[in-house]
Amino acid sequence: MANTYNPYDNVLKTVKDAADILGYSESDIEAIKYPERELKVAIPVCMDDGTTHVFEGYRIQHSTSRGPAKGGIRFHPAVNENEVKALAAWMTFKCAVVNIPYGGGKGGVICDPNKLSERELRAITRRFTAAIAPLIGPDQDIPAPDVGSNATVMGWMMDTYSMLKGHCVHGVVTGKPIELGGALGRNEATGRGVMFTTKNILNKLNVPIQGTTVAVQGMGNVGSITAKLLNEEGMKVVAVSDVSGGIYKADGLNIPAIIDYLSKDRKNLLTGYEEDGITRITNEELLELDVKVLIPAALENQINASNADRIKADIIVEAANGPIASEADATLNQKGITVVPDILSNAGGVVVSYFEWVQNIQSVSWTEKEVNEKLKNIMDPAFEAVWNIAQKEHTTLRTGAYLIAVKRVVEAKKARAIWP
């Protein structure tokens, strides 16, 4: 399965489904089926032991029809070209569904940050930034954090690009440290957007927030903050997991204690966490728990043809990008499971990245309260629009989201026309 799965095929199928409903011809969507630019780079690094190791990296721009390309940098051993292409395309449609003036891009380096020293990780980041520098910039392509990267990495990227340009360029990346022009609230933005979305779908389905059970797969930035915020809202987080496995507790886990433990050292994993009454489970078992809400916040292709029929949750809110393979969508729909798609539910990160970029360009600063309010003012209407069109067209929420997003991208492309 891992050898044959191509997430970019997922993207193309979903786009085609939406285009058919919208009445677009093959010619109308032909251009958006292909990324505009794909760059593969070699990153030679002198390791701590004195040896030279060459890492491979990518930066792919799927579309700039609606504005500069926008998307994260992923440091992970499983990074590959098709994954980065899919992630870049998802960013195009994610920005379109929440109607911010960006296209989609994505980058990745094949490496395991957990096995690298800080100096080695910094060296990879700087050399990778130099290699993709011709493609990026505040007016053309703006990277951000993703799996395996964070604000510190974005600070190194911003500094490297600035050194190459000979002056400080705050707006080349988002998700930076506050001291370098980062936005207040950016670190929590994706998780906060997932929280807003979860509350919105529970409200639509007349499910109370208080005491409703939720399982979160993945305790990276997005998963941990989602778990924290949903716990604060009164939901009962009964299971969480990371690469080392998961933990389950029917009465609800001590989420603040778990986050405190994981944050003390980036190499801390759930396998070393202790709490009375917990049961050790696998990531696969977490996905199949009998909970009201399941939030996959790890990697793509976690729910697929092999396990879709065993999913018991009533609602799935996609916090990761592409966690459900296209062949699993039909099974989940037949089972009556409501799925809120990634391009809507996890868009909070790119929305606040947009806010950070705007602040950098205008040399202004917003308070965290202002940022969170502005985020809610975008996420809530976007959810409402997706819900309404899905109800009107009798489609899933995923198709509804793509009906909005594909139309905005295609119409922008038509308005610009094909050059020359």
Active-site amino acid positions = 106
- Flag whether 221 is marked binding: yes
Dist CA 246 CA 216 (whole Å): 9
- Flag whether 94 is marked binding: yes
- Flag whether 353 is marked binding: yes
DSSP β-bridge partners for residue 54: 44
Strands 338-340 and 315-317: parallel
Q: Can you tell me whether residue 301 is helix, strand or coil?
A: coil
Q: Can you tell me whether residue 297 is helix, strand or coil?
A: coil
Instruction: Provide CB contacts within 8 A for 356, sequence distance 6+.
Output: 174, 175, 176, 181, 182, 183, 186
Instruction: Provide CB contacts within 8 A for 189, sequence distance 6+.
Output: 348, 349, 351, 352, 353, 371, 375
Checking 163-172 for CB contacts under 8 A at 24+ apart, the result is 164/130, 164/133, 169/137, 169/138, 170/360, 171/138, 171/142, 171/357, 171/360, 171/361, 172/136, 172/137, 172/138, 172/142, 172/143
Task: Quote the tokens at residue 162.
Answer: 């600035």
Dist CA 328 CA 317 (whole Å): 15
- Flag whether 33 is marked binding: no
- Flag whether 99 is marked binding: no
Strands 103-110 and 69-76: parallel
Strands 103-110 and 52-63: antiparallel
Bond before 256 cis per omega within 30 degrees: no
User: Residue 272: exposed, middle, or buried by beta-carbon count in 10 A (0-12, 13-18, 19+)?
Assistant: exposed
Dist CA 373 CA 393 (whole Å): 31
For the beta carbon of residue 206, count every other beta carbon within 10 angstroms.
6
| Binding-site residue positions | 70, 94, 190, 221, 353
| Binding-site residue positions for NAD(+) | 190, 221
| Binding-site residue positions for substrate | 70, 94, 353
